[in-house]
A and B are shown apart, each in its own frame.
Chain A
């Protein structure tokens, strides 16, 4: 039979027992809705977690250190083996890293102790340089005030706890000025006459350095509730944040400068560590491998992202299994409906066969009926599932609002889920129709015609 005729006859048959077939279709819809609701919740939570973590900058960055730094953390081997000289983490290395595929930016981590003067009072804290790319960082979503107006602006963002130290009325701090007192590092001319003597080196490597007290006036532009975690080991633990460009021009003495001063270097200025930001967390692994091959030590939260992915895969799987239980029950409904239809339409099947219907035609007819119920059930179920999701999000946000927490999208119905759920409903329905359809096709026409 032609597909069009098959479809027409199937729809006609479904219309004949409209109540029973509607209830069966509704059963499929409830099953699909349960599956869609469960999976959408899983997807929504995964997206929420991924977005928050991705915004934090923890998962798309690689921290790079000179290899020697890593070695000093280990206990020396019993038998001393001469170690090949590690490459310097200098500007050349930085440029090479910037050229690696999928690298967005490479920047040094600048963090130094300081004394802040505000209203004539001194406050000790740590200053951290923030790259301009952090502007789109989710950590600054809830900022009071604004982000730095530019990469070279003499502005500061305060962490809320530090802001509270400065004033009880934190909101009043925005627009005010404070003075940062810090120790500037000035390179000494190298012994033996090497070095440019400009004092613009990054670690004072080569010929040592002197410390000069300096002051810098900054305008407070923002206050953040949470401590931005981006660039672990970098500006993460800073309580006073300034643009990275400004921080680097200050040439402030950093914690590791003393250690580097006593180490022998090749005379070229070097960084204590660099942060490499990738286009996405999935690109972290190849970048990390490439940097390791360059001879540097690296650290990333790649394993943590792997575990997160594993967790959500298992979470989604469990949700899908629970969601599928209702669909499994609906499958039994389809089988029951079609088996009943065979009993009711036994004589009709006999007539069809007497008129020339092949076994295949009868089988296809029942298959199409099952498929149509699955299709309608799937579409209806996705609608129900979406509605359940909206209700869940609405309820969750009311609860979050009462807890003084920002609203969140805990539910997401992506297109792939819509299409997959409908396709799954049709496939499950066809599978459910397999037995009844085969049974109908095998009916002996003579016996079927005799059936009253």
Chain B
């Protein structure tokens, strides 16, 4: 039997439960849709991850870490990175 394929995160997976008051992708999609921007849960997730990739890229440059797309995406998905971004974002406004 072949080994199962796929990506296994070393530091767990980020969920909305990790953030107090954080919403799941379906709720986010519903809220955005009701405000005139039609999207489904998958689009909400894609927007969320692409935003995090935009933030992760300069962080990679700063630390001198290779910033290939795969590496940056891995950082963006990392729950530790996400909680750091959430902390900074909440201190902004």
A and B: bona fide binding partners: no
What residues of chain B have their CB less than 8 Å away from a CB belonging to chain A?
none
